Amino acid sequence: MRPLPDLSISHYRHFLLVAELGSFRAAAVRAFRSQPALSLSIREMEQRLGQPLFEPGNRGTLTRFGQDCLPLARELVDHHDRVAGALSGLANNGAGSLTMASVASAATHWLPELVAAYRAQYPAVSLRLFDDNSEGVERMVLAGEVELGVCSTVSRDRRLSFEPLMRDAFGLVCHRGHPLAGRKSVTWREIADLPLVGTIAHRQLAGHPQAAFMLDRQVFVSNMMSLLAMLERGVGVTCWPAWACRRIRRDWRLCPCRGRASNANWALPVWPAEACLRPPRAWRKCCARGAAGMTRCR
């Protein structure tokens, strides 16, 4: 096996600066280094990698190899900074930071109580929360923008570690005046011809022929606020996990769907490398306890 190149984090930072700014001079100013010193850093990096990162005749332009290296270098620097910040927090009496993403339904109905409990136990940890749909949550975790997330499982990306929180059930969400609103349950066949609005969560229904029609709707929305607006304006009805409907408006009803395709799964997508850090680890335990309480209360 070829030995790994001996490169410092400064080499990667200098490479990213030149790639971002397109100029060795501007990168040197940003890095508070002389231009010869920064040029030497890039030259060392190219020699140790065995390939040029920038075009010889135009040193601000990336070679094909440099283009391939760019996202990996950015990922490495971002990961270094997150770990360095976490280690610094551990050395500072357990302080640190936790950045996470969540689907809007969890951020609205569930996370406030968890955040309050977490803050009471870890007051020195700073929290940053972003909300998006499940696809966006997974994308942020993969990009290293957040340590972990709360979402429904829609991709099963092998690069992520999915920790199950709870199993839920899909149900038809409709106005109380709808003919099916008073039913105790419905089948997928009964709702197939309704004006259903599609969402990211319906990707969990892939592989279930009886609910396959949910994956190709004429109207599709990517977030909860848009979905609620569509329902309120009478654009259609939808199927949603029951847990996400805990606080829907009083004039709306949830009618559970029957059948094998009715299960919805909520999980914590986590980068395996982040799982051992204290703030994410403590938050995962907090989520697990909260999910257990939710399950008992359903």
**Segment of 14-18, 113-117, 135-139 carrying the highest mean pLDDT:** 14-18
Give the residue-averaged pLDDT of 51-71. Answer: 91
pLDDT band at residue 8 under the 50/70/90 scheme: very high
Lowest mean pLDDT among 46-50, 151-155, 291-295: 291-295
pLDDT at residue 15, rounded to an integer: 95
What confidence tens digit (pLDDT) does each residue in 75-92 have?
899 888 877 776 776 665
pLDDT at residue 297, rounded to an integer: 43
Residue 270 has pLDDT above 70, yes or no: no
Taking each helix axis from N to C terminus, what angle separates 24-31 and 35-49, rounded to the nearest 10 degrees? 110
pLDDT above 70: percentage of residues in the chain? 84
What confidence tens digit (pLDDT) does each residue in 13-31 have?
999 999 999 999 999 999 9
Give the residue-averaged pLDDT of 103-126. Answer: 81
pLDDT band at residue 110 under the 50/70/90 scheme: confident
What confidence tens digit (pLDDT) does each residue in 206-226 have?
878 888 888 888 889 888 888
Lowest mean pLDDT among 112-126, 183-197, 278-292: 278-292
